Structure 1
Amino acid sequence: MSDSHYIGRFAPSPSGELHFGSLIAALGSYLQARAHRGIWRVRIEDIDPPREVPGAADTILRQLEHYGLHWDGDILWQSQRHDAYREALAWLHQQDLSYYCTCTRARIQSVGGIYDGHCRELRHGPEQAAVRIKQHHPVLQFTDQLRGVIQADPQLAREDFIIHRRDGLFAYNLAVVVDDHFQGVTEIVRGADLIEPTVRQISLYQQFGWQAPDYIHLPLALNEQGAKLSKQNHAPALPNGDPRPVLIDALRFLGQPSYNDWRDMSVAQLLQFAVANWDLTRVPEQVSINPAFSNASC
């Protein structure tokens, strides 16, 4: 049975293959959705062509299937959603909730790195300009379903942030809010590296008059140097072999019960047990490991 009242999602960018850190976010969001008998969607956030790796999107989808993380419904591709983003931008402009900004990065750095609203009342046109939101009602805190109340950096929360870039690309904060609302997402489970922009996204929900989803920010997997596993840090791609030992490593990372007889289970059975025993309260807020994909095979 599916509880359509719960909709979760995993939304990778095709800037490289999935790694262990990506698996933590995918698995955590999958288990939370399935434990609620809800829907789990996958969205490919391909709105930044300069950062994309050819073929990465197809590889990511194959990796999810290889690890037994099967999604519901069709894939949503952000590259096919430009009309929706333009419509959202037009509505904000009509409501006098946005403005064009021609400030350079050098100028913003010269005033301390936080945008000071310099162009808010100058009424620039769209030529060689970014679009910024008029931040009338900043969100200074939000409740994370794992971490409790999280306080925002007041300066960042009050900043008129960019929603359409000078180079013509749509900003992440705008696209993610428009798409999560469109897909009916009720809870977003993702990595703790995305805590900071959450208050900006909630403020956009409020600007549009939409109900914001709940948020869960999972702990980050770190390398031996203490840096977040990421594509930029050349984190190794998920192995193509037996996915079960890696899934066991990921479940242990998330504080979930270990299964001594996992070698007798199929991937589908392992995930079924993981869903049945999923306990968000066991997930630690901070974890630092060197994922060598070997723990489960010891």
Structure 2
Amino acid sequence: MQAREYTEIFRYAREYFSSFEKSCDEFHILIDPALESASAKVRLGKNGYRIDRMKVAYAYENGSEVSYTGIDEWMKHAACAGSCTNTLYVPIHFSDKPVGLYVFKNPDFLYTNSKLSDMLSPISMAMQQLFLNRMLTNTLNELKHLYNRDQLTGVYNRIAFKELLISKYNEAAYDGLEGAVFFIDADNFKETNDTLGHDKGDKVLKCIASALVNSLSCEGYVCRYGGDEFVVFMPSVSNDDAEGYRDAVCSSLAADNISVSIGLALTGADTSLTLKECVAIADEDMYRVKALHKASSNG
């Protein structure tokens, strides 16, 4: 969670407590760093909170905001408090889990306002809403990832091809970029499934997807087009680098005794071609390569 997202809440808290006739010398908020990903993990030691694992999210001391480089610096500051200092630690809860602490130094306002829980309620509610918003954003991002990713290989799926790759292709064409479209098909994949089983076939598909992603040396989008077929689009790449990518993928997979046929279509020369038409050209080139592979194995 970004610090700026806390700003309004922290300033509200500062103004809220300073509005009392008797306020406090210092007001700190310590949080579990896990809240930055809105996962709300509990970090408790044998004796309760592990302050040394927390993060100083906000510090207000003697009339101004201050910053700390880390929790160690804050703990040294806290240890230097005089013998006449009263320090109040109040837990922050989220989803019924302790995730941080409010720390008050000399909270004089309690002498005239004893119901601290009532005083903290609006601040806690605002912080909970902040965390809930972040969790909702994370959930939506996860759903989006599931929506346009192939569950087996983790690369883009056919939906992403229609929604993302076509958009990227049109942008590149508009900018006059010269790129490449690759069509990849696993050799003898049906035989692998029939003789070694679908689990082995799944491993082959994962290896192919991994090689396609790891061999990228520039911007590129890898999509599982269907079955054992993949499409890769590079918006801007030279002819030599495109051929180099094809060789790199084949070499990487050869180490795992996996053979693929990769067709190539260069883009940009004819701006009237759609991505689907370029895929068809790459598909045709893939069959040319596959025929060469078969001829080589039979020879």
The TM-score with structure 2 as length reference comes to 0.20
Structure that is richer in helix per residue: 2
The TM-score with structure 1 as length reference comes to 0.20
Structure that is richer in strand per residue: 2
| Structure showing greater Rg | 2
Specify which structure has the bigger relative contact order, considering alpha-carbon pairs within 8 angstroms and separated by 6 or more residues: 1
